[in-house]
Amino acid sequence: MKKTKIIATIGPSSDSPQVFAKLVDAGVNIVRLNFSHGGYEVQQNRINMIKRYRDETKKPIGILLDTKGPEIRTKTFKGGEATLVQGAQFILTTRDVDGTNQMCSITYDGLPNDVKAGDKILLNDGVILLEVVCVDDTEIVCTVIIGGVARDRKLVSVPNILTTLPVITERDIQDIEFGIKEGVDFISISFVRSAQSIKVVKQILQDKGAEHIKVIAKIQCSNAIEKLDEIIDAADGVIVARGTLGVEVPIAKMPRLQREIVSRCNRSGKPVIVSTHIIESMINNPLPTRAEAIDISNSINDGADAVMLSGETATGKYPVEAVKMTSSIAIETEETRDYQALLEAHRKHKGNKPADIVAYGACRAADDLAVSAIICPTNTGFTAGVVSKFTPQAPIYALVYDDRVQRTANLFSGVEPIMFEQRNEIMPLIKDSIETLKELGKIKVGDTVLMTFGIPYSNRQTTNTMKIHIVE
């Protein structure tokens, strides 16, 4: 089976039931709803479609709500764009004006208070570079250092400047409350700058009785790199948002930063998603570039649990083909990984927590015995997640009794979550786990399998036991 998970953004190219079903058949595990685009009615229709598909197929397709976040954008230009010339003066203003090649409005009134002479500002997703000359209450006067075409509603970035933007906007709160009502499985927080954003969202979820929803931090600004460890500790997972992050940090540093973020998440046992420009040429072409194929493979070898497709599946001409290609690259990469070397590399990071030590030991035994499967009966998905952390070669079957846990566990690399009636006694748990997987054709008589779980089984996050079993 494919170990690496694929997250697909749903948009006009993929929000019909026919195309969506083909995406899942091609390898999609989780769908992303981008709340920067589309109103509640549009998103509601997409959620209803996903739920109908889940009901019909019983496939655990999770829903990730991606918030817009506290971003800064240009407003509109006359004719939709303006060409900024190197060396010319250009003014960013908080007043509402029709944009020209001399001035445009921005969406954040506080920016004049956050920047000073000499600071750098990037427009149009990093294509245009401005240097601040002087500032007053409403206007930021700049010199164009690198010119280009500025367009409507494009991202404005201020690298290495701590703005006074709110950690969570009122719109984000409304979107999160909508997601709670609709039963989404993950909420990704855009433009996270510290752990505070994560804590605020988790408090909202707790107040609404929705603590089961996993909070994913999007690393997409330079401030987040400085607070990376506290963000990883606070979040349930991380997205490496390479597009916007690559605007704020030098491009030459991006390969190292991606590996560093992925590695830190691996060590913490938090699932990590690599996103943006995954297979972008397939928005318009039926095949990817060789560089894109290598990039996907490298991301998997770096330790990514999942890759996330954006425009490829949302607005592209070849959404199904893009997923098929990503799946085939993932499978090819996984088949040639050196799992023994990976396990040895993880050894020094296993820590001294009982769950980590047991999970590492289980993976080591699974490798030595060449087991057919690692079986993880789990209440919360915790055991499957901690086993996944050590990248075993054997498939990991997470037996869960809550369909919400089934969908969130589906984010971990190598984990196939399967619904299973809850058992409170250990011997029936072991016997029925084996029988369930035999009936599903996952294991067969004569196979050696390894089980790991916690005793007492009713306790949460107490992985402390492993058992080697010959299937009869």
Catalytic residue among 218, 242, 389, 442: 218
What CATH number is attached to the domain comprising 309? 3.20.20.60
Catalytic residue among 276, 333, 436, 463: 276
- CB contact set of 166 (below 8 Å; sequence gap of 6+): 70
Q: Is 276 designated active site? A: yes
pLDDT given for residue 126 in this prediction: 82
Backbone angles phi, psi at 470, to 5 degrees: -95, 125
**Residues 427 and 441 occupy one common structural domain:** yes
Give the DSSP per-residue string, 80-98.
Answer: GEEEEPTT-EEEEESS---
**Residues 405 and 331 occupy one common structural domain:** no
Q: Residue with structure tokens 């011997």?
A: 427
What CATH number is attached to the domain comprising 388? 3.40.1380.20
Nearest residue to 180 (alpha-carbon basis) of 156, 202, 152, 148: 202
Number of domains in the chain: 3
Identity at 173, one-letter amino acid code: I
Buried b (16+ CB within 10 A) or exposed e, 125-144: ebbbbbebeebeeeebbbeb
Catalytic residue among 68, 73, 120, 337: 73
Q: pLDDT 10s per residue in the chain (472 long)? A: 899 999 999 999 999 999 999 999 999 999 999 998 889 999 999 999 999 999 999 999 999 999 999 989 999 999 999 999 999 999 999 999 999 999 999 999 999 999 999 999 999 878 899 999 999 999 999 999 999 999 999 989 998 888 889 989 999 999 999 999 999 999 999 999 999 999 999 999 999 999 999 999 999 998 899 999 999 999 999 999 998 898 888 889 999 999 999 999 999 999 999 999 999 999 999 999 999 999 999 999 999 999 999 999 999 999 999 999 999 999 999 999 999 999 998 887 787 888 999 999 999 999 999 999 999 999 999 999 999 999 999 999 999 999 999 999 999 999 999 999 888 788 899 999 999 999 999 999 999 999 999 887 766 767 889 999 999 9
Residue that terminates a domain, selected from 105, 128, 151: 151
Say if strands 214-219 and 186-189 run parallel, antiparallel, or are unpaired: parallel
pLDDT given for residue 458 in this prediction: 65
Rounded CA gap, 202 and 224, in Å? 18
**Residues 178 and 116 occupy one common structural domain:** no
Alpha carbon distances (Å) from 462 to 81, 379, 382, 465: 57, 10, 9, 9
Rounded CA gap, 207 and 165, in Å? 24
In-domain check, residue 302: yes
Q: Is 315 designated active site? A: no
**Residues 137 and 24 occupy one common structural domain:** no
**pLDDT digit string, tens, across residues 330-355:** 999 999 999 999 999 888 778 788 89
Q: Residue 385 belongs to what domain range?
A: 339-470
Q: Is 32 designated active site? A: yes
Q: Is 181 designated active site? A: no
**Residues 197 and 304 occupy one common structural domain:** yes
DSSP 392: -
Nearest residue to 397 (alpha-carbon basis) of 345, 434, 348, 422: 434
In-domain check, residue 157: no
**Residues 66 and 84 occupy one common structural domain:** no
**Residues 419 and 303 occupy one common structural domain:** no
What CATH number is attached to the domain comprising 95? 2.40.33.10
Catalytic residue among 5, 32, 202, 407: 32
**Residues 83 and 64 occupy one common structural domain:** no
pLDDT given for residue 403 in this prediction: 97
In-domain check, residue 379: yes
**Residues 194 and 225 occupy one common structural domain:** yes
Nearest residue to 26 (alpha-carbon basis) of 416, 323, 319, 326: 323
Alpha carbon distances (Å) from 318 to 23, 32, 108, 178, 290: 11, 17, 36, 30, 17
